[in-house]
Amino acid sequence: MKLTDVVSFAGRNITQKKTQSFLTIIGVVIGILAIVSLISLGYGVQNYITGEITTIGANIISLIPSQNFGGPAVSKTFNDKDVDAVKSVRGVDEVVAVWLGSYELEYRDESIYGNILVVEPSKFTYVYSTTWGYEPYKGRWIEDSDKYSCMIGYGLATNSFDDEIDIGDKITINDTKYKVIGILEETGNPATENSAILSKDVGQALFEIDDEYNRMIVSVKSGEDVLRVSEDIQKEVEDSRGDENFSVLTAEQLAESINSIFNVLTIFLVGVAGISLLVGAVGISNTMHMSILERRKDIGILKALGAENTTILSIFVVEAGFLGLFGGIIGTIIGILIAKAVEYFAAVSGYGIIKAWISWELIIGVLIFSFVVGILSGYFPARSGAKLNPVDTLRGE
């Protein structure tokens, strides 16, 4: 029997039982769509981070008062002595000491919990405009002389409340009204996208802190060795604090840390999605077993006409492969749509960092994988069918 005949025979078997075939591939569809959407979003975020490093340059160093990146700052916070220690390092251009907290923000009878960035305005403006190249979307930068004024992120202005916040509007924080004098352009970083930016004196009074910071952003002078500067900062801050419970991260190290978190998360979620794929594989195997039982006489006739065991095996293996492939096609399409939908709604919510990564390598790889899953699922039932005795099958035994 020619290969085209094998494919035609297998395809006809699937189309004759459309409902059964569709129910069989549901598990494969769910598993594949989950894998496609999760891989797409996971790699999309990683590619975005890499692109941001290229955009902003590698001359940024971040300090957090914890050795566990992404975890709570269990150690003591930074203080002015630590900031001065960083400034003393050769090659440091500017240091922005930040307190990042959250507070209830009110605007026109609506209230949400949002981020508050407490900064020295002149230093914040210098690093964000000169080093990162950001500009106000509307209005102007916050200045040292601004007291009851604030700058806000693009996401907070456009997506957080029913009505958009514009220049001159006022938001209420802890019963105090702050006039919006600037809206930062879209950055994709939730820390700034959904934040209100206050000057140091006002912000420290709001959080009842004095000489405390939980972030430092360091700009390194052009031409300096960023790794050497980061190592010197590590030593100076260790001497200043008297402990090592803090992290000094270059832009590349920060990206690697974030990527490692997403890699572990993606592997875990894909593993969970793989359970659905396993259920789909069992469904294909069960369907092929039932199909062989229903077509025992057909197998007997084919053998009586001279079909070899390998031909019978090929027909049912190809049929199982097609079931896996069809499930993979449907799952891939739905998975791409879900990933794109997540990207859209994330962007609307101010999380521009979430991107969907779609490539032909991903699509073709997933389709091949689903086809192979189908083949492996149907192989053992197909082998048992190929070994049936033609005399017994024609007798109906």
| pLDDT band, very low/low/confident/very high, at 183 (cuts 50, 70, 90) | very high
What integer is the mean pLDDT of 269-288? Answer: 78
How far apart CA 79 and CA 81 sit, in angstroms, is 5
pTM of the model: 0.64
Half-sphere exposure of 43 (CA within 13 A, CB side): 11
Choice between 151 and 8, residue whose per-residue pLDDT is larger: 151
Contacts of 394 (CB under 8 A, 6+ apart): 297, 300, 301, 304
Choice between 287 and 81, residue whose per-residue pLDDT is larger: 81
* 307 pLDDT higher than 80: no
How far apart CA 90 and CA 230 sit, in angstroms, is 10
Choice between 232 and 58, residue whose per-residue pLDDT is larger: 232
* 387 pLDDT higher than 80: no
- How high does pLDDT run on average in the chain? 83
CB 179 within 8 A of CB 148: yes
Q: Name, of 248-252, 367-371, 380-384, the range with top average pLDDT.
A: 367-371
CB 225 within 8 A of CB 91: yes
What integer is the mean pLDDT of 49-71? Answer: 69
CA 227 from centroid of its chain's CA atoms: 28
Task: List, in sequence order, every beta strand (DSSP E) within the chain.
Answer: 60-64, 92-107, 110-119, 136-139, 149-152, 170-173, 176-184, 195-199, 215-220, 247-250
* 91 pLDDT higher than 70: yes
The reported pLDDT for the residue numbered 72 is 47
The reported pLDDT for the residue numbered 73 is 47
* 69 pLDDT higher than 60: no
Percentage of the chain modeled with pLDDT above 70? 85
Contacts of 148 (CB under 8 A, 6+ apart): 176, 177, 178, 179, 202
